[in-house]
Each structure stands twice: as C-alpha cells, then as structure tokens.
Amino acid sequence: MAEVFVNGQYLDADKAQVSVFDRGFLLGDGVYEVIPAYQGKLFRLGGHLTRLKRSLAAVKMDNPYTDKEWGEVLTTLIAHNGGGNQAIYLQVTRGVAPRDHVFPEGVSASVFAMSNPLHALPEYYHRDGVKAITLSDTRWQRCDIKAISLLPNSLLKQEAKEAGADEALLIRDGYLTEGAASNAYIVMDKVIYTAPQSPKILSGITRDVVLELAAEKGLTVIESAVSETDLLAADEVWISSSTKELVPVTRVNDQVIGTGVPGPLWRQIYDLYQQVKLQETSS
Ligand SMILES: Cc1ncc(COP(=O)(O)O)c(C=O)c1O
C-alpha cells in the first residue's frame, strides 16, 4: 500500500482523508508542485521549493513549512514508498472552511503529498518523437502560478488526446506560449527559442536545466515567443517537464517537423540532461 502525507501524518493511502469543505475540493483554491526523484533523491528540490513559494505568495497563502522541513517530509515519503525513481506530487490548499469565495480567517492550510513510481516513457517518445496539435491558449492570465485548478489544461490535453496527439501546443495572440503540461521550444538555424518567463507561462524547473545546458554547450538561446508559422517551419520542436524531461516533437497538426525524426540538438541536450540528473542525485 502506498503511503501518503496528509497534514503532518504519514498514512496508508486508503486511510488518508480530507474534508469535503476543503477549499481545494470546493474551489480549486490551492497550488502544487511535481518533483522527480532519481535513486531516491529529489532532483532540483531548491528550484521547486522556490517556485512553490512564488505560487503561494501569488495566491496570498503562507508556506506551511520551511525548505528544510519540506525536504525532510518529501525525502521520508520517498523512502517509505521504496526509494528509486519516483515523482512527488504535493499540494497546499487554503484549508477547510464554509464555502465562500472570500478567504476564511484563522484557518490553516491543508497539505497533501504523494509519491508515485516514475515509469519509463514509451519507447517511441525518444525514437520517433511525439505528435502535438496547436490549440488556442484558453487559460487564465496567471499561468505563472502552479495552481491546482487545472480544468483548462485538462480540456486542452483531452482535446489533444482525442486528436491522436500527445500534447497540445498553446497559441495566444498568434504566438506559442507552452504546452498544456510542458514548456515548449523550437530550433531554427541552430538557435533555440522559447517563450520568456511571464504570466503567460509556467516557468518550468526542467526549462531552467535545459537553458543551463544549452548555455554550457555554447548554443544560442533566445527567450522570445515564436509565431505559429515559425513553429510549423522549425527544424526541431521540443517540450519539457519534470516527469517527461525533454521530448522531441516531430509532428505538429500532421505536419512533419524538420526531417521528421528527433533532431541533433535535442539529442545533445537530452544526453546532457541524463548526465546532470544522475550526477546531482548520486550520493
Ligand atoms: C503548463 C505547464 N508548463 C510547464 C510545465 C513544466 O514545468 P516543470 O519543468 O517544472 O515540470 C508544466 C509541468 O507540469 C506545466 O503543467
């Protein structure tokens, strides 16, 4: 039985409970993080906790734990669930209170964390690349907050799935923002383009790593959103997230990207990513 963490207690998943009056349940009033762990060790925990603090501050909630306490809770949860490669999901909601849009006073946050095995991706992801479709970015104006209210993302991802695609690439005012659950990049003439940090995207921790590695390799990165036309004409398209790492996209709207196979720059950064992740999580 998997063990989860709820409000200070480690419990069997089937014994864990939250109130039906939790504002996360009633209003989607909370924020979350997803943090990968390799060899039982959290990867880029500092970056994730910094983003968690930003999300909490943006929704006017206090951080229930210090970074040290978060580190202890999450490391314990991973160990209790057998170590190895896992993905932590944690969420902090504004707590339990009578339903009202206005924030309750004197209520403490509800904290929930679980850890699930991080399974290998399907083979075709890296061998052939994945398919994406472009969709209008119907989300709100604060995509920089990692909010648990994911209905727009969920609708977009479902639409992609029903179209036989693995991801939806989102277009706002004619420009690519990101994926429904990933950051997005294109390569054109050996230059990497990705949307800049702004309220239009969630600034990914994987994106930070990708940009660090590109800089180390002396590759040019331009943090500027590209038009849908440039996206379709790109030599390479990639998406990134903590659980999927860096994935090549080789079809967009049934149009072949570049040569139709994962490109050389993707391969370079992907290989470096594997090295960094192992280096940083080996004891
Ligand atoms: C909308 C969105 N953008 C970007 C990302 C990538 O963030 P990270 O690399 O921190 O997982 C995610 C991850 O789930 C996401 O949902």
Please say whether the dihedral angle defined by the alpha carbons of residues 267, 248, 202 and 122, taken in this order, is positive or negative: negative
From 117, 143, 161, give the residue that closes a domain.
117
CATH number for the domain spanning 194: value is 3.20.10.10
Q: Please give the positions annotated as active site.
A: 146
Whether residues 85 and 204 share a domain: the answer is: no
Q: Looking at the structure, do residues 113 and 129 belong to the same domain, yes or no?
A: no
Ligand 1 pocket: which of 156, 169, 202 to mutate (most atoms within 8 A of CB)? 202
For residue 150, the ligand 1 atom closest to its alpha carbon is 16
Q: How far, in Å, from the CA of 181 to the mean position of ligand 1?
A: 5
Q: Are residues 173 and 73 in the same domain?
A: no
Residues with CB under 6 A from ligand 1: 34, 178, 181-183, 202, 204-207, 240-242
Verify that 111 and 140 share a domain, yes or no.
no
Whichever domain contains 83, its CATH number is 3.30.470.10
Give the whole-angstrom CA distance, residue 206 versus residue 244: 9
Residues 84 and 158 grouped into a single domain: no
**What is the per-residue pLDDT across 10-51, written as a single tens digit (0 to 9) for each?**
999 999 999 999 999 999 999 999 999 999 999 999 999 999
Domain hosting 105: range is 3-117
How many domains does the chain contain in total? 2
112 and 226, same domain (yes or no): no
Do residues 8 and 26 both lie within one domain? yes
Out of 177, 241, 246, 277, mutate this one to test ligand 1's pocket (max ligand atoms within 8 Å of CB): namely 241
Q: Are residues 214 and 265 in the same domain?
A: yes
Q: What is the dihedral sign for C-alpha 132, 134, 136, 141?
A: positive
Nearest-atom index, ligand 1, CA of 202:
3
Q: What is the pTM of this model?
A: 0.98
Same domain flag for 159 and 229: yes
Same domain, 233 and 256: yes
Residue listed under structure tokens 């992801």: 125
Per-residue pLDDT in tens (0 to 9) along the chain, 283 residues? 899 999 999 999 999 999 999 999 999 999 999 999 999 999 999 999 999 999 999 999 999 999 999 999 999 999 999 999 999 999 999 999 999 999 999 999 999 999 999 999 999 999 999 999 999 999 999 999 999 999 999 999 999 999 999 999 999 999 999 999 999 999 999 999 999 999 999 999 999 999 999 999 999 999 999 999 999 999 999 999 999 999 999 999 989 999 999 999 999 999 999 999 999 999 7
Sign of the dihedral defined by the CA atoms of residues 41, 78, 85, 146, in that order: negative
Residue 238 Ramachandran class (φ > 0 left, ψ -120 to 50 alpha, else beta): beta
- 55 and 160 inside one domain: no
Place of tokens 């139709």: 260
Instruction: Give the end of a domain, one of 84, 117, 150.
Output: 117
Order of strands across the sheet that contains 3-6: 9-12, 3-6, 110-117, 86-93, 30-38, 41-42
Question: Which of 70, 89, 117 represents a domain boundary (last residue)?
Answer: 117
36 plus 77 within the same structural domain? yes
